[in-house]
Structure 1
Amino acid sequence: MSMVSHLNFDIKEILAKESVITAFQPIISLKRKRIVGLEALTRGCDPANDSMIPPNLLFEAADEAGVTIELDRLCRRTAIKNYRKIKNHRDIVLFLNLNTSVLNQDCELQMRTKIYADTEGINYGNIAMEIVESAVENNAKLIEVIEKYRELGFFVALDDFGALHSNLNRLVITKPDIIKIDRCLVNNVSKSYYQRSIIKSIIELAKTIGSLTLAEGLEEEEDIFTCYEMGIDLYQGFYFARPGEFDEIAVEGCINRVLTCADKIKKNIETSINENKEKHKENQKIIEEVERRLNKLTIKDFFQEFQETANGNDSVQCIYLLDSSGTQIGPTICGCGKKSLKQNHFFRPAEELDDHSLKDYYYYISHLGLERFYTNPYISLASGQLCRTASFRTNAGAKNYIVCIDFIEQKLDIQV
């Protein structure tokens, strides 16, 4: 069947003949290794030549003809009817896209969905209404729509979150059941620290407000592995299945992909744990060697030792020394990565007499009495690279000091 690429069809004839079909795309729980939902995606079918009409052209034509409400209702009604035909549909949640342009037009919006579900004998708790929050400018209207659906017992999902002008505050005021994270954040997330940071923020907020997170548009294994490590709850994308008929063949193919992916995730986690253990072991060797050598030196010889350590270990970005108050003693000693260190208003190595007293690597050693401390990964102000700082106590003469070693965690391309 060919695909229509322009508006050369009669939208009113399509509506009159109810010439639309529903394609279903599975939504996956990798922890449970099963399909937990289906997103209903509508396609038009031109009665004149049986050509397939993509949804964007379908709704564009409906908008021009002033029949958007009628098309939106037809899509929902058809999707629910086709969902009802699926074997064991009660074990799967139907995700229905709500055209946001009808929010202010269709006064029967929620009741129509209720009627369609009642007609097919579908429990409201088996339906999740997807709303693109960035397309709704009026907060009050968004909250009103969500609350009405929720009162009836429907799930509510905010779709395409992270695209366009998505607002984190809207997650707080709407508290959706599911947050669908847009493909623009998910695509290549395994290679982007920034995308991971944004998604982690969404996940943390979702946990706070009691929402599940769903990563959509997944096509690459590496992105799925990364999403799993970050704590994403649900998964959707071409990797698992393309939209289409949800028959036994489609189910079997999708489940096989899920099981294969789950097995690879397990192996990936094991590999990651082993790699981190090895990295930690190597870092510990460096720390212990520096500690051993410093015990034999006076403070004036510390910096020569720092330079030799930094030059001799690719994983060491820089080393610096703090006094008991958190004030830096002497310069920051940079190693093999010195050429990549940035020199501008935002990123520069700390200098003598700089105050580090609010930094974790100082505070935990100084105030909690720890002998050693490892920070979580963070963007180094010395280089703009992802690093972890290891700090430990040492002394010279009668004075106590804290040695700080920045280990490179991951090289990033940061432009400031």
Structure 2
Amino acid sequence: LDFFQKDIIFILMEKCIMIKNIINDELIEIYFQPIVSIRTKKVYGFEALTRCTYKGEIIPPDKLFELAKKENLSFELDVMTRNKAIKKFSEYYKKDNNFILFLNFESTLINNTGFIEKNSKFVQTIKELEIPFINFVLEIKEDEITNTESLKKFSQFYKNLGFSIALDDFGTGSSTFDRINLIKPNIIKIDKSLFNNIENNQVNKEIVKAISKMCHNIGIRVLAEGVEEQQTVLIAMKMGINIYQGYYFSKPQAQIDDIKNSYIISKIVEIGNIFRTNTINTIKNKRKGIEEHDLLSKILIDKITDINDCNEVIKNELLLNKKIEAIYIIDEQSSKQIHDTFILGDLNVHFRPSKEGEEHYLKDYYYITLESKKGIFLSNKYISYATGSICKTFAKKFTKNNINYILCLDLVLEHK
């Protein structure tokens, strides 16, 4: 063997010895990262995270478990870390028996059909410490599990004992919605990547909103994972998410004392107050916006003298007002569009604006406007099919020559 090959063999042997020593001597420390509930204004629980230092060198958790996997020691490392976490949690449980501990599983191990039988040690540890199973959440990354039957068996077995199941890192990788029906988790942790710069990413915003709404509708709690910025938390709160984990509230800690706990509570109270103020201001701004849109509509309606000959009036309005992306008029009684849609700008080549004679009877801006006492409608934000800009649609009922119509304005909030 040449020197290069000998060096590689030596490094591999050294790593093999290292992981064995780490496991045999239990050379890891458990850190807890607080998980907070804004609704109840308290620390809801903790996620147990692994930290390791070997001969003065910090070994990142992903590298540690990767090394254990290469040496076929994943199960031993998984069992050891989980039991250390449970024993550490027992001290926190004695102070407050409402605390919940989130325990990670090396999810690929669940593919083994005999995993449940081999993995009974941590259940026995919990029994010995006299902590109810309901105080534990078992986190799994379902996209790492290929054996569907083993996954289903794992979930049913531990849920029947009283444990909760959480799907970790949901919304990324190959996460599939059909697994929700299979596992029936108690909690879904939305992956932190979806919250990265979410205030400027309308797509991620809509994905998170959809996941949150779905979970609430089917009785699953939602946890926003990896939140670091105030604005991120405020956006998630607006989407109905109540449970959070991330640096904004606290980094993982070796110990969480009363001082640290008080600081976390103060952060929860602070963000709650900001959210309340922002919500009130949003309501005020929405009312102001409706008034402005209503005035804009009235000005345009007043300019229209003949509904059948208003092309120039509408085109001029589009040229004068860059906030308007499109204008179209609907006959109230038939729901049919009076003219082709008036629209300016660089349009998506796949977009086809609605034409004269097309019906709108299933569109919310049509039937809600009809039922509205004030005869107006304002949609939520959406990304325009036509231009990719972020828009809202404002609709207003009006009368010309004793015939009722609905004027629709697609208003640009943020250009692409």
TM-score by length of 1: 0.88
Counterpart check, 1:120 vs 2:129: yes
Query: What are the equivalent positions in structure 2 for 1:214-363 lying under 5 Å apart?
Result: 214-248=223-257, 249-294=259-304, 297-323=305-331, 324-334=333-343, 338-339=344-345, 341-345=346-350, 347-363=351-367
Contact 2:225 2:245 in 1 (8 A): yes
Query: What are the equivalent positions in structure 2 for 1:4-403 lying under 5 Å apart?
Result: 7=15, 10-46=18-54, 49-86=55-92, 88-105=95-112, 106-108=115-117, 111-248=120-257, 249-294=259-304, 297-323=305-331, 324-334=333-343, 338-339=344-345, 341-345=346-350, 347-365=351-369, 371-397=375-401, 399-403=403-407
Q: What letter matches 2:137 in structure 1? A: A
Check 1:273–1:370 CA distance in 2 against 1; reply closer, same or farther (3 A cut): closer
Cα deviation, residue 39, structure 1: 0.2
Check 1:163–1:9 CA distance in 2 against 1; reply closer, same or farther (3 A cut): farther
Distance 2:368 2:273 in 1: 39
* 2:255 match: secondary structure: coil
Check 1:265–1:374 CA distance in 2 against 1; reply closer, same or farther (3 A cut): closer
Distance 1:367 1:34 in 2: 43
Check 1:40–1:277 CA distance in 2 against 1; reply closer, same or farther (3 A cut): same
Cα deviation, residue 149, structure 1: 0.8
Contact 1:7 1:57 in 2 (8 A): no
Distance 1:261 1:396 in 2: 50
Check 1:273–1:246 CA distance in 2 against 1; reply closer, same or farther (3 A cut): farther
Contact 1:42 1:75 in 2 (8 A): yes
TM-score by length of 2: 0.88
Cα deviation, residue 404, structure 1: 1.5
Contact 1:103 1:109 in 2 (8 A): no
* Residue deviations 1:299-358 (CA, integer Å, cap 9, x gap): 244333323433343432221122343333223233xxx33x41411x243333444343
Give % identity.
32
Distance 1:270 1:77 in 2: 47
Contact 2:111 2:145 in 1 (8 A): no
Contact 1:83 1:89 in 2 (8 A): no
Distance 2:341 2:118 in 1: 64
* 1:376 match: secondary structure: coil
* Residue deviations 1:224-280 (CA, integer Å, cap 9, x gap): 110000111211111111112233243233233323322222222233222222212
Distance 2:101 2:265 in 1: 18
Contact 1:361 1:389 in 2 (8 A): yes
Structure 1 residue runs of 5 or longer lacking an equivalent are 1-5
Distance 1:111 1:301 in 2: 80
- The more displaced of 281-290 and 375-384 is 375-384
Let me know the Cα RMSD of the aligned residues.
2.5
Distance 1:10 1:363 in 2: 69
Q: What letter matches 1:375 in structure 2? A: S
Cα deviation, residue 398, structure 1: 5.7
* Residue deviations 1:193-251 (CA, integer Å, cap 9, x gap): 11111112111221222110001011111111100001112111111111122332432
- The more displaced of 65-74 and 83-92 is 83-92
